């Protein structure tokens, strides 16, 4: 129920219904045609490619469970029950669930579209059963074709079904010159309202001068000299005669108060223009999409390379998503691009030189579900990344990952390499932002190179870090505040603050600890810190905030919000039972993070968080979950690999069955979904 309640709502059910319909229609047909046949039809330059291993998905879910889910979400309503009895079995629909389903997306300025390529076991069977409302189209290049009522284009042969759907580019007609070619009028309601108000206020003057009015660029406009002293005198005179001014305004023929804006007419005009624009766009979309389908069916576009097809097909588990060009994906994120371009004051920011493509793989291992991410890097970035993340985890960290550890975060960088590469990064990557001032940039880089002694700094902070969270600590602090008495004299007020927060320890290696000790000794001399029993207590917020504690232990610097944890380490009372899974993960990764999901309910209770009954029930279910982990082994070949993993309860045979069972528990049967519709409210209620 944790998963189902999070995913499902009325809208969620509708999306789920269509999504599973797509997946089953997507994938149910791949036993008779090899995956390479479908992959070879993906146009080069596609933004996103998705491959779904239906054979593995159906095997994991089991047919009965999957059919139950499809029935619950109303999938079988898309099929007629005429001369064949479906028995609510998707294998009776004519599709074949033994191969790989393929979907790709292509984004252009004018047209954005996606296509599903679906090998089918029995296209006649499928065609006879599928409910379709729309219009038949002439056959093309051996494909039968059909346009559905909602504008999707279907094409099929005896061995495959292809579904094409698209939309007009959202910004294509923003350019007035392009919009004008197609008869589209860009109109802004707010601008129209302002124009109407201005026209009402200045009607007489506008009528007299509109013939001679020409918009002039501000850079070419000539300004006449103006006597501001005379203006000041006139203003003073006007301030002395307010009634006369008021009367003159009332008598004016162009009084703005007598010319109200007709907002009803403005609404109607705005709506009519938008309707006309939408009508034109719909006609264009129909023509453009039909032309695009013909280009695709006739293989006019070059396809992705054989090497890319092999990489896409090799060892697919459940689902694989491929972004062929990360830079193209980034360019499609218009809002993100706007923020970056505004920050850098440039439109030339690009990821192309450093990042090539990216893979996301959804993988199942018994009751574990994993998302594996792989990013292909450019040659220079591979070399740089290997230098920066060459450091291995400190083996001394392992003993601090115990059975009591709720979660941890470990990252290992090479500080010396970072400091050495900073000047190179400045001169190579920031040059284009300095224009003609590159000499200044090179001078800055040289100054950094001279000022930074990377070897000395690396002895102070080499770059290995571990943050450990060990349950909850009860923090208490006594502090002095100030208030006023009845005579408004300042008086001291002694106050106490208590709070329950997660207890953490941050530790890192430091071979040269002198600078830390010197700074802390100065803080002690100024009463900003205290030192007792080998532990420094550092005040925060002028003593009103909870303090931090710092301790030097062997060659480690440890910082914590819980002095009790540091005392346990100092006096060898720290728990000794190791968390073997955390230790193994940390030792085998350049970067890793993990937490025990089953400890979340107890942690929430200890924090005294007030929750509703439904949330408490959901949290209790987490007691059956395992660890949640995030890790990376760094560079493998020319790729940076990262794994995200969640261990699900073992009450199902595998992870997919558990997920589907969760979905089933949260889905109301489709025929009851109308009950979730909001009640209409009318003026008579």
Residues 586-619 pLDDT 10s: 999 999 999 999 998 888 888 877 777 777 777 8
Are 475 and 557 contained in the same domain?
A: yes
- State what percent of residues in the chain have pLDDT above 70: 69
**How many structural domains are present in the chain?**
3
Domain assignment present for residue 521? The answer is: yes
Tokens read off for 681: 């409210």
Are 407 and 422 contained in the same domain?
A: no
pLDDT of residue 609: 76
What is the spatial distance between Cα 582 and Cα 645, in angstroms, rounded to a whole number? 13
Which of 116-130, 174-188, 634-648 bottoms out in mean pLDDT, i.e. has the lowest? 116-130
Are 291 and 386 contained in the same domain?
A: no
Domain assignment present for residue 492? The answer is: yes
Judged on CB neighbours under 10 Å (0-12, 13-18, 19+), 296 is buried
Which of 446-455, 483-492, 572-581 bottoms out in mean pLDDT, i.e. has the lowest? 446-455
Are 409 and 515 contained in the same domain?
A: yes
Count of positions (residues) in the chain: 685
Domain assignment present for residue 672? The answer is: no
Are 503 and 606 contained in the same domain?
A: yes
Tell me the pLDDT band of 523, cut-offs 50, 70 and 90: very high
What is the spatial distance between Cα 391 and Cα 388, in angstroms, rounded to a whole number? 8
What is the spatial distance between Cα 612 and Cα 521, in angstroms, rounded to a whole number? 49
Tokens read off for 89: 């079995």
Determine contact, residues 663/8, Cβ cutoff 8 Å: yes
Domain boundary among 461, 494, 523: 461
**E strand or H helix at 382:** helix 379-388
Domain assignment present for residue 147? The answer is: yes
Are 477 and 386 contained in the same domain?
A: yes
Per DSSP, the residues of 197-220 read HHHHHSHHHHHHHGGG-----GGG
pLDDT of residue 228: 37
- Domain with 156, as residue range(s), is 22-175+278-317
pLDDT of residue 678: 40
Tell me the pLDDT band of 430, cut-offs 50, 70 and 90: low
Are 431 and 471 contained in the same domain?
A: no
Average pLDDT over residues 165-193: 79
Are 523 and 601 contained in the same domain?
A: yes
Are 515 and 440 contained in the same domain?
A: no
CA angle 194, 200, 201 (to 5 degrees): 90
Domain assignment present for residue 101? The answer is: yes
Average pLDDT over residues 369-391: 85
> What are the backbone dihedrals phi and psi of residue 352, each rounded to the nearest 5 degrees, phi first?
-65, -40
Q: Mean pLDDT across the chain, nearest whole number?
A: 75
Are 429 and 395 contained in the same domain?
A: no
pLDDT of residue 26: 38
pTM above 0.75, yes or no: no
Domain assignment present for residue 519? The answer is: yes
Are 628 and 522 contained in the same domain?
A: yes
Domain assignment present for residue 121? The answer is: yes
Are 486 and 632 contained in the same domain?
A: yes
Helical axes 438-451 vs 415-429, angle rounded to 10°: 170
Q: Is the pLDDT of residue 185 over 60?
A: yes
Domain boundary among 317, 342, 367: 317
């Amino acid at each position: 129920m944790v998963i189902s309640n999070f995913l499902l709502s009325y809208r969620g059910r509708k999306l789920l219904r269509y999504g599973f319909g797509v997946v089953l229609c997507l994938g149910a047909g791949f036993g008779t045609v090899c995956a390479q046949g479908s992959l070879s039809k993906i146009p080069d330059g596609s933004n996103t490619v998705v491959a779904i291993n239906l054979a593995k998905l159906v095997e994991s879910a089991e047919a009965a469970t999957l059919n139950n889910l499809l029935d619950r979400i109303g999938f079988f309503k898309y099929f007629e029950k005429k001369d064949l009895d479906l028995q609510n079995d998707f294998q009776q629909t004519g599709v074949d669930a033994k191969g790989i389903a393929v979907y790709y997306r292509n984004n252009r300025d004018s047209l954005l579209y996606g296509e599903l390529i679906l090998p089918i076991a029995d296209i006649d069977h499928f065609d006879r059963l599928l409910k379709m409302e729309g219009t038949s189209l002439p056959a093309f290049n051996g494909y039968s074709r059909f346009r559905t009522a909602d504008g999707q284009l279907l094409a099929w042969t005896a061995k495959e079904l292809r579904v094409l759907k698209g939309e007009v580019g959202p910004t294509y007609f923003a350019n007035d010159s392009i919009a004008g070619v197609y008869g589209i009028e860009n109109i802004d309601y707010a601008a129209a309202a302002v124009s109407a108000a201005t026209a009402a206020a200045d009607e007489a003057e506008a009528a007299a001068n509109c013939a001679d009015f020409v918009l002039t660029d501000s850079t070419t406009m000539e300004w006449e000299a103006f006597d501001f002293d005379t203006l000041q005198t006139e203003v003073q005179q006007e301030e002395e005669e307010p009634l006369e001014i008021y009367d003159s305004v009332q008598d004016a023929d162009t009084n703005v108060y007598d010319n109200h804006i007709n907002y009803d007419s403005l609404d109607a005009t705005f709506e009519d223009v938008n309707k006309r624009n939408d009508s034109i766009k719909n006609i264009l979309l129909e023509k453009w999409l039909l032309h695009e389908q013909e280009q695709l069916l006739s293989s006019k576009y070059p396809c992705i390379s054989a090497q890319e097809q092999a990489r896409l097909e090799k060892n697919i588990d459940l689902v694989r998503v491929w972004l062929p060009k990360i830079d193209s994906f980034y360019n499609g994120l218009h809002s993100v691009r706007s923020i970056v371009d505004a920050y850098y004051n440039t439109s030339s920011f690009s990821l192309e030189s450093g990042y090539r493509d990216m893979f996301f793989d959804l993988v199942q291992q018994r009751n574990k579900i994993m998302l594996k991410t792989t990013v292909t890097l450019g040659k220079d970035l591979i070399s740089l990344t290997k230098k920066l993340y060459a450091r291995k985890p400190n083996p001394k960290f392992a003993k601090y990952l115990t059975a009591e550890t709720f979660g941890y975060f470990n990252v290992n960088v090479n500080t010396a390499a970072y400091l050495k590469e900073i000047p190179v990064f400045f001169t190579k990557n920031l040059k284009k932002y300095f224009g003609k001032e590159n000499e200044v940039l090179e001078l800055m880089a040289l100054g950094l190179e001279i000022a930074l002694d990377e070897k000395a700094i690396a002895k102070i902070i080499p770059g290995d870090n571990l943050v450990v969270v060990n349950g909850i600590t009860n923090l208490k602090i006594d502090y002095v505040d100030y208030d006023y008495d009845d005579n408004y004299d300042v008086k001291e007020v002694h106050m106490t603050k208590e709070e329950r927060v997660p207890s953490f320890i941050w530790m890192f290696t430091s071979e040269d600890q002198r600078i830390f000790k010197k700074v802390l000794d100065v803080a002690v001399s100024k009463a900003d810190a205290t030192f007792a029993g080998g532990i420094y207590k550092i005040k925060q917020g002028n003593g009103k905030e909870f303090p931090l504690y710092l301790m030097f232990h062997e060659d480690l610097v440890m910082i914590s919000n819980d002095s009790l944890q540091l005392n346990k380490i100092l006096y060898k009372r720290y728990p000794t039972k190791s968390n073997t899974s955390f230790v193994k993960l940390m030792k085998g990764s350049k970067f890793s993070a993990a937490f025990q999901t089953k400890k979340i309910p107890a942690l929430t209770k200890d924090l005294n968080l007030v929750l509703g009954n439904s949330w408490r029930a959901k949290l209790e279910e987490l007691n059956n979950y395992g660890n949640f982990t995030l890790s990376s082994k760094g560079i493998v070949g020319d790729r940076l690999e990262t794994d995200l993993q969640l261990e699900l309860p073992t009450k199902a045979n595998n992870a997919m069955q558990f997920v589907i069972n969760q979905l089933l528990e949260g889905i109301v049967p489709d025929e009851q979904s109308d009950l979730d519709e909001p009640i209409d409210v009318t003026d008579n209620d």
